[in-house]
Structure formats: C-alpha cells, structure tokens
Structure 1
Amino acid sequence: MESFLAKVRRTISRYGLLNRGDKVVVGVSGGPDSLALLYCLLELRDEFGVSLHVAHLNHLLRGEAAAREAAFVSRLAEDLGLPATVEARDVRAYRKECRLSVEEAAREVRYAFLREVAARVGARKIAVGHQADDQAETVLLNLLRGSGLAGLKAMVPCREGIIRPLLFVSRAEIEAYCREKGLQPCCDWTNWDTAYRRNKIRHELLPLLARQYNPAVVPALARTAALLAEENELLEDLARQGLARVVLERGPASLLLDREAFLGLAPALQRRALRAAAVEVGGGAEFEHVEALREIIRAGTGALTLPKGVQVRVEGGRIRFGRPGRGAGEAPVFSYPLRVPGVTSLPEIGRAIRAEVLPPPERVVAPPHEAWLDWERIAGPLVVRNWRPGDRFSPLGMKGSKKLQDLFVDAGVPAAERRRLPVVAAGKNIIWVAGVRIAENYKITPATKEALHLVLEGEEG
C-alpha cells in the first residue's frame, strides 16, 4: 500500500503544486490535518527546494481554547525553527457587517489573512490542509444545494496560489501519520457540533453511506470531484471562447453582446457565458438569475438587476451589462505600485488588480479581464495607472507599436471610459491594458518558466 508521504509527493508532482525556490505559507490551525500538512512539507522541503512560513489565525470565536491553540502553534514553529505569523481577527464583527453565516465569515477572513501573510513575506503559494474526507463532504454539501459542475468539482489541488497537498489522503491516514510521528494535535470541539450542516454530513450522512452503500464512499466522491474538475475546466474554456465570439463592445464596467449570436450557443455555454459576463463587470449571478436572464434574452426585450448592482437590458438585438455610476465621466488620475503577489486596490475606479506568480498554463485562453505574462521578461518597477495621452504600446499579435488612443478606437472603448481602464507598466513599458490586450513582447511562449497572472476585479471581489 502506498505510504502517506508517497501519496502527498505524487499529488504535488502530478499537479505541479511546488516549484523549486517557492516560499510557502502553511496554514496551521493546530488540528491533525494542518499538523500533518506541516510535518510532511518539512519532510519534503529539501526534495522540492522550498521554504516554509507558518501562519495561524485566531478567529476569536472560542475564547481561551483558541488562545491556547495560537500559543501552541507559536511554540511549535519556534521548536521547528520556522518563521511564523500568528494573529487574531474578529470574525463575529465581520459576520455582522457582511451578513454571513459564521462558517462563511470565518472562511473569508481566514483566506484574506493567509493572502496578506503571503504578500507580506513574498510567498508564491499558500498550503492548506484540506483532505479527501473534506472533499467528499464538500461534494455532498454542494449536491444537496443543487449545484452544477462548478460546485460538484468541489476543491481543486491548486487554484490562485492556494495548494492542497493532502486532497487525496483520508482523515484516517492523516491520524495514523500523526500517531507515527508522535504528534499531539489540538482538538476543536466545534467540529463535533451537528448544528453545522457540514458536521452533520461528516458524522451522520457519510458514515451512513459507508455502512449501507459503499465502504469506499470517500475516495469515490473524491475521484468524482477530480473528474468533474477537468470537465468543468473544458466547459469554462468553451464558454470563454463563446463569450468572446458574441461580444460587440466592452468597457471596464460595461459589456455589449449580440443577442442572435448568443442564442446560437448551447444552453450550457449560455449559462456560463452569462455568469462570466456578470463577473467581468464586477457582479455575479446565481442559477435563478441566469435562468431569468435567459428568458428575457429569448423574449428579445426586458431588463434585470443582478447581484452587486449589475443591470442587464435586452433590446434592439443587443444584451447590455452595466453598473450605474460606473464608467461615466472622467476618473481621477491614479498610479500605484503593483503588489506581487497581492491585491492592489484602485479606489478611484472601484476596481482592483490581483497579481500572483504561477507556473505558465499549457494553453492560454484568458478573458480580457485576465492576463498571463512572461515573468522573466518583466524588468523595472511594476505600476498600475491611468492611460496618459501619448502612451504607446505593442499589442499582442502586432509588430511595432501604436498609440493607446488608437487602440481604444479600434477596440470600441468609449472616450469617457478610457481613463477608467487600468494600464500596467514595467518601468516605461506598458505590458497590459486591462480589459483590452497584453503586450506582444511579454506573451507566454514555450520557453516561459514562470508567469505573472493578473486579474482585474470589481471592488467587491
């Protein structure tokens, strides 16, 4: 039987979770999963050529117990000779402010903390301790909610710098590894409270399925999630291509689609294209919104307001996505150093740019609000700023350069929106006009070893 460490090594290698020279922030709660994660990464550290930084967050939800866990992780990191960041955040206050459940609020605060630590210490990866049982629980949780492929694929081994090396090992294997290493994890008794739906699935539904239907239900569900993740990725690529074919005009906070061309897409691609369009202009859409919007599009006239204030109007053979108060008038002048990795807020236009350095994708199919660039070709300080009169740029697929003003005209960007389009520059060279095009000299090639991945997000994202 394959050992615990061999399984983790295989997951890291198969999915390219680590690259030599990576600094990795390891989220350590003190429980068995995170302790096993930390110790196996320690065992594999030299083999993969990475360095580790421990991060622990006290959610201020469990009083003295949480304080003891924070002290435990601090001592552990010190004993192992590892740098550590241990902080506390008020999850209850965040929950009240954002009107979320405790679980949702804790998750959002935790990931925000981990990303902040990674940006602070210059780490490219964040390792978390999700394992196969967590994956099975997530699949069932999303299935019971009525999710599509995007939910049933559950968690993936690597996404946006978050890596899950333990995703294909079970809770039983982790507990055996902890015993073998003589580890004594902290116990969070809230994990046994079946008032939480996930705990109810963990302690009641999964054991029932294992007893009466399939003793290997956990690896079966984990395998299903892995297959669906690959199929979902294919459909996402097809949907992005489909959306690109039906776009007539785009701005930083607006999108105009051709109705007839849209109706020519398969229903599955229509749903995904509509969600992608809503996200591109800084919003979002659930299943009910998407289906209501498809009805309006089929009828040929009507309007609908989506989450985060995105308004969609269908008339005259066009589908227009937009946000009130965005994209109108001149934006104030702005210029900020681009945080890599990290998020650079652009409050003047209500947007932000997320940046990270990742292995290059095998095939680049990116929507206009994303960019993949050759990291090794980028020299000089990175800044994100407005377009300035006289700016020149070498757009992808073109020899020589042209004025940005001419590029905007060719791309159909309205004059009032041009100052609201962020421009990313490396020194004096423009490498990306967000929402329009990357520079030819910085594109991904077969020789690219590391890629700078940029995403233009809405302020709420």
Structure 2
Amino acid sequence: MKILNDLTGLFDFRISIQYIKNMIKKVLNFIKENNMLQNGDSVVLGVSGGADSICMLYVLKEISKFINLKLVVVHVHHHIRGKEADGDMEYVRKICDKEHIPYEIFHIDAKKEAIARGMSEEEAGRVCRYECFAKVQEKYNANKISVAHNLNDNSETILFNLFRGTGIKGISGIPMQRDNIVRPLLCVSRKEIEKYLEENHISYRTDKTNFETEYSRNKLRLELIPYIKENINKKAEYNIVNAGKMLGEIEDYLEIETNKTYDEYVDENEEGIFISLKAFEIHPAIAKRIVRKGIEKKAGKLKDVTAAHVESIINLAKLEVSKSVNLPYNIKAIKKYKGILLSDLSDIKIEKIKEIPIIVNNELINENPYNGKFKIDFENNGFSVDDIQELLYTKWIDCDKIGSLTLRNRKEGDYLVVNDFGSKKKLKEYFINEKIPKEDRDKVLLLADGNHIVWIVGYRMSSYYKVNSNTRNIIKIEFYN
C-alpha cells in the first residue's frame, strides 16, 4: 500500500486505491463516511476468536497504518462451552502475541451471572462483556470500543425484532455507533468476511452453538433467510438493512417530535409518571412514543417492552372506568380520571410493623401514624363525591362505616369487598391474583377495620368504604413514600 500525499481533515492521508484490498477499502470508506474513528484514536476490540472479530482485528490493524489507531484486545471467557471456550481464549492470546497487540482476558461465570441479574445467559453474557470492555477502556484511557457485528447480523436483528413486535427503533437495526461503541464491519457480509480470511490464510474459531437450530436467531440465519434468498430475492439481506436504515431516519425525526411533546403531556411525580389523556388525542405515532418514553423513564430500559404492551396502554386510555394492565419490570399502568399512571409498586420498601390504632369509636387518635408517612384529615362540609380523584396513594373513605381503624400487616381471616354488590375476597387470594411475591406479603401496609381491609396501601381499597352520594363524613388518608 502506498501513501500518495497527506490531507487535512478526518484522515491525514490519501491512499492509492489499486493497492488496497477490497475489504480494507470498503471498511475504511465506511469508517470515514460515518466519522467512526479519528486519527490517533485508542480502540478496545471485543474479540471472541470467531470469524467476525478476528477479521475486525486484522482489518483495523491494517487501517491503523493510515490513521494511527492504538489497539487493545479484550477476550471474555464465559465458562459455558468447556474446552472449546478454553481453545478460543488460547487462540486469541496466540494471535495477539503474534501481532504484538496488547490484550486483556476476563473470566466470568455466565450461568451464575444470569441467576444473580435475573437475565438469560445470553443477555447476562452480553452485559458482562460490555462491563469488561469498559474496564479496559478506563485502564488504557481508550476513547472507542469496537465490536464485530456484520451486515448479516443486522438483517437478522431487524427480522428478529420485527417478529417480536418491537417499534420502529427495534426494526431500524444495529446502530453503526452509539456513544463510544462503533461497529466498522456493518458494511460487509459474513461471506465477504470469510473470503477475506481465506484469501489471507487467517484461521478462526467456530462456535458450534451457532449451528443449533433450537435457538430462534439461529433458525432465522440458517433456515428462514436462506429460503428467502433462494425463493424470493437473493439480495434480501441488503434490502432489509437498507429498509432499516430508512426507518432509522424516520426514528430520528419522530424522536425529535416526541421530545417536544413529552414535557407538555407528562408529569413525573412521587406517585409515578402520569400521562395526560390529551397525549392520546394527538397522532398515534407520537402518542405511542410518549408511552414508551414514560415506561423507559420509570423502568430504566425497554428491552422487553413490545408494541403489544404499548397498544394495551393506548386501549386502557380509551376506557371510561378505572382499570390497570401489568407491564414488564414490575410496572403497572393504571387508568385514572384524567390520564394513565405508570407506577412501580416495588418502589415502596416497608418492613413489618406493630399495630397502630388510628380511629377508635369514631375519634381520630393518631393523625400521623407510621413516622409521619400517613396524613389523615376530616374533609370540610363543602366536599363532594365529584372532588374525589383516582390516586394511588391518596384515598377518601366513608368514615361512618368504620368501627375502628388500625394500621398493620396481614392477619388470618383478612378480606375486602371487591365490588358494589358486596362480593368478598380473601386477602390471600387478592395477593395471589396480583402476583405479589410471598416474601413481600407480610410487609404490605393495611388499613383495617377488624378483619375487613379498608385499604391495601399502594394497591386498592375495599368497595364497601368508598364514598358515595349518601356519605356524610369523609376522611382523607395520604401515604408519603
């Protein structure tokens, strides 16, 4: 390869094209067009030993001759595949020693991490890998992390997410770069990668699990996509990726519009995230994105939130009555008078308490029980049923129906009335139906009138104690988390 003369700008060089192998030229142009890497960048490479990552290592090593990249390799041993994984590790070590590239090797127990983090082994492995990359980035003061996803990976991801029912963002494909993570091989196919390695007599490791069709993604790669290419369009993967790119541009525009409207229609407070019903009157493309943004703000992630979940909230907003739907990450969407409340009930961490009397013989004897986390007031004469709001941690109760009111945890024989017809349900059955974990049931705060539960704090109150047009004396009870 020959350098003709220096240029200023992103790359301080011009390369004589006829001396550059097709793979190097293609990746180099892709990096330049998308401003992925700068002259002098220090880059952490995630290298498993497979064809993609080994190709990335050698291609970036060649490119580093022209843009002065400083490379460091990271290999993560997941301790899943036994001797095969040991072989992968030794192969990466051997390559790095041969090419004089510094490297770091990490050992993780993916199975244990999956259990500890409540994830699948695959997801836990991915999270741990990126944590390892970040550690090496800090150690070497690197400013970029490079991973080896290719064009085929991108088309598979788009199809996989499409079939799962994700939104536009999910079917936009794998981003070329996000924050400090770059993917320089997204422009090349798996076939091109294997050809490059073969022509340059570079060996690589093969993960046999990639050929096991019991995994959904493997079925896509090994069965569905080959069928589509053979029977419908041999360029299907390129067309899928191009469609994803166009959708990505639409996604960027919609994100800008969503951010403009989110603050107007959404209120974030101690009860959760409240989305005004007015948000559901605007174009559904924006309304649905507002819902997704609200869930992401509450849960911190969206990975398991599908289009069906979002649609369930859109339908919830159309209802006249108060209902709720359960969402991933222990989020509950609750229909309120003027909107939808996204609440995480696990936010309230409460230990078991001793019984605290509040009302005895119609006399309020404790206005601020449980260390002031409750506030109890008698409403003034001018208060009416129309003034009552549907709030998760504030309730208005018909005081005349209360014999005594005690704050406590559950007891044998507890029950509540679940409708206006007086139907009773055991508290135990309610907990089971609401999927409240066994270990948490003894800690749930209850306002009780004997064994009749007036209010399961943070969940619902008994229909028997609800205020109606015949109610004369009303007490307002608020819980502060």
TM-score by length of 2: 0.63
Q: What displacement does 1:97 show?
A: 3.6
Partner of 1:257: 275
Shift of 1:305: 4.1
Q: Which amino acid aligns with 2:327?
A: L
CA contact under 8 A between 2:150 and 2:185: conserved in structure 1?
A: yes
| Matching residue within 227, 231, 254 for 1:212 | 231
- Residue 318 of structure 1 and its aligned partner are, at CA, apart by 4.0
User: Alignment length, in residue pairs?
Assistant: 327
Counterpart in 2 of 1:411?
none
Residue type at the aligned position of 1:157: M
TM-aligned CA deviation for residue 144 of structure 1: 2.5
Residues 153 and 229, structure 1, Cα contact 8 Å, conserved in 2: yes
Radius of gyration: which is bigger? 2
Asked if the contact 2:52–2:193 (Cα under 8 Å) also holds between the matched residues in 1, the reply is yes
Contact 1:293-1:304 at 8 Å conserved across structures:
yes
Query: Is the alpha carbon distance of 1:204 and 1:318 closer, same or farther for their aligned partners in structure 2, counting shifts above 3 Å?
Result: closer
The aligned runs of 1:388-399 (5 Å cut-off) are none
The counterpart of 2:162, out of the listed 143, 146, 155, is: 143
Identify the residue that residue 245 of structure 2 maps to in structure 1: 226
Equivalent residue number for residue 284 of structure 2 = 267
Q: Distance in 2 between matches of 1:144 and 1:258?
A: 31
Give the Cα separation in 2 of the matches to 1:253 and 1:86.
45
Deviation at 1:68, TM superposition (A): 1.5
C-alpha distance in 2 between matches for 1:234 and 1:49: 35
Q: Is the 8 A contact 1:8 1:165 kept in 2?
A: yes
Write out per-residue CA displacement over residues 389-436 of structure 1, whole angstroms, 9 at most, x where no aligned residue: xxxxxxxxxxxxxxxxxxxxxxxxxxxxxxxxxxxxxxxxxxxxxxxx
Match of 1:23 in 2: 42
Aligned residues of 2:330 and 2:346 also touching (Cα < 8 A): no
CA positional deviation for 1:62: 1.1
Equivalent position of 1:352 in the other structure: none
**What runs of 5+ residues in structure 1 fail to find an aligned partner?**
330-461
Structure 1 residue identity aligned to 2:67? F
Q: Secondary structure at the match of 1:149?
A: coil
In structure 2, runs of 5+ residues without a counterpart are: 1-17, 351-481
Residue from 256, 259, 265 that aligns with 1:246: 265
1:73-123 deviations in whole A, cap 9, x for unaligned?
Answer: 112212222221111111112233445444333333323322333233332
Matched to 1:183, the amino acid is: I
Query: 23, 44, 51: which is aligned to 1:32?
Result: 51
Letter paired with 1:259? L
1:150 is displaced (CA, Å) by: 1.9
Identity %, equivalent residues: 29
Give per-residue Cα distances to partners, 1:324-350, cap 9 Å, x unaligned: 464999xxxxxxxxxxxxxxxxxxxxx
1:186 to 205, 210, 216: 205
Match of 2:169, SS state, is helix
CA distance in 1, matches of 2:110, 2:50: 19
Q: Distance in 2 between matches of 1:170 and 1:56?
A: 23
- Alpha carbons of 1:190 and 1:121: their partners in 2 closer, same or farther (altered >3 Å)? same
Q: CA deviation at 1:225?
A: 1.8
Are the structure 2 counterparts of residues 327 and 159 from structure 1 closer, same or farther at C-alpha, using a change threshold of 3 Å? Answer: farther
Q: Which secondary structure does the structure 2 equivalent of 1:26 belong to?
A: strand
Counterpart contact for 2:276–2:340, Cα < 8 Å = yes
Q: CA deviation at 1:252?
A: 8.1
Distance in structure 1 (CA, Å) of the matches to 2:109 and 2:271:
33
Work out which of the residue numbers 119, 123, 129 in structure 1 matches 2:138.
119
Residue 251 of structure 1: CA displacement? 4.8
How far apart are the structure 2 equivalents of 1:310 and 1:111?
27
How far apart are 1:321 and its partner, in Å? 3.3
Counterparts of 1:34-183 in structure 2, within 5 Å, are 34-183=53-202
| Equivalent residues of 2:335, 2:341 under 8 A apart | yes
Distance 2:336 2:220 in 1: 46
What is the distance in 2 between the residues matched to 1:178 and 1:197? 28
Q: Which residue of structure 2 lines up, in the alignment, with residue 394 of structure 1?
A: none
Q: Which moved more, 1:212-221 or 1:297-306?
A: 297-306
d(CA) in 2 for partners of 1:243, 1:328: 29
- Indicate if the aligned counterparts of 1:53 and 1:82 stay in contact, CA closer than 8 A: yes
Quick one: distance in 2 between partners of 1:252 and 1:46? 55
Change (3 A) 1:324 1:202: closer
Which one-letter code corresponds to 1:277 in the other structure?
G
Contact 2:26 2:187 in 1 (8 A): yes
Residue 338 (structure 2) pairs with residue 317 (structure 1): yes
- Over aligned residues, Cα RMSD in angstroms? 2.5
Give 1:344's aligned residue. Answer: none
